[in-house]
């Protein structure tokens, strides 16, 4: 069998992770086996094990793909436009998390797995920290525009502070959507949260 190039090996790994996301979305993380991933991907177990040592490693890659990489695309779009307030940045970020390709229930399950699996916890923590840093970078122009009296260091601290809260709000909204599919759009949800917090 010919050896895969680095690019084709990465493409195969991405294919396996995509299959794992689909089957985990249907069966749940705990009820998905390597045999299920093999059947979904159409690849032999041996082929899968040549790319991943375990289901935990595949699950960790799935967590990184759906929490970190997808958000990166959203933030790239934000950075190319005019300064947006945190609520609008959050709405854009969350719009990438609720499609059929990534069921919100799977995101919540990955958080649950992170509570008991150190490998997945490290990946989820890293992905959420990247999202927090990208959030801070996305809203920094807005902080500068709305608080021109702040020096650059203070503006960055304020953006970091807001970004931490943004990630927490996003996690709450995602959990709510997973448990209550009729949850309103994020902007409606945000208006209610704003009113509740005064």
Assess contact for 113 and 120: CB atoms under 8 A: yes
Q: Domain 56-197 falls in which CATH fold? A: Tetracycline Repressor; domain 2 (1.10.357)
Task: Give the sign of the dihedral formed by CA 127, CA 161, CA 144, CA 171.
Answer: positive
Structure tokens at 116: 């008991």
pLDDT tens digits, the chain, 198 residues: what are they?
A: 456 688 888 899 999 999 998 898 888 888 899 999 999 999 999 999 999 998 888 988 887 777 766 666 666 666 666 788 888 888 877 776 655 556 788 888 888 888 998 888 888 888 888 889 888 988 999 999 999 999 999 999 999 999 999 999 889 988 988 888 888 888 788 888 778 876
Tell me the whole-structure pTM to 2 decimals: 0.77
- Report DSSP letters for 90-129, one per residue: HHHHHHTTSSTTS-HHHHHHHHHHHHH-HHHHHHHHHHHH
Evaluate whether the domain defined by 1-52 bears CATH number 1.10.3470. no
What is the domain partition of the chain in residue ranges?
A: 1-52, 56-197
Domain 1-52 and domain 56-197 have a common topology: no
Which DSSP string corresponds to 5-41? PHHHHHHHHHHHHHHHHHHHHHH-STT--HHHHHHHH
């Amino acid at each position: 069998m010919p050896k895969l190039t680095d690019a084709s090996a990465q493409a195969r790994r991405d294919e396996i992770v995509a299959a794992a996301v689909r089957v985990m979305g249907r069966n749940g993380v705990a009820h998905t086996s390597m045999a299920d991933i093999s059947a979904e991907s159409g690849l032999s177990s041996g082929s899968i094990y040549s790319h991943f040592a375990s289901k935990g490693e595949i699950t960790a890659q799935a967590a990184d793909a759906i929490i970190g990489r997808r958000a990166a695309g959203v933030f790239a779009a934000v950075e190319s436009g005019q300064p947006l307030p945190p609520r609008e940045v959050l709405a854009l970020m969350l719009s990438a998390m609720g499609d059929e390709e990534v069921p919100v229930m799977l995101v919540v399950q990955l958080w649950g797995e992170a509570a008991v699996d150190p490998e997945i916890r490290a990946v989820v923590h890293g992905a959420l920290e990247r999202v927090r840093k990208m959030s801070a970078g996305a809203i920094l122009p807005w902080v500068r525009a709305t608080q021109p009296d702040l020096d650059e260091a203070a503006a960055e601290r304020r953006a970091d502070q807001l970004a931490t809260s943004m990630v927490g709000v996003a996690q709450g909204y995602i959990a709510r959507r997973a448990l209550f599919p009729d949850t309103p759009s994020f902007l409606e949800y945000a208006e209610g949260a704003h009113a509740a917090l005064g």
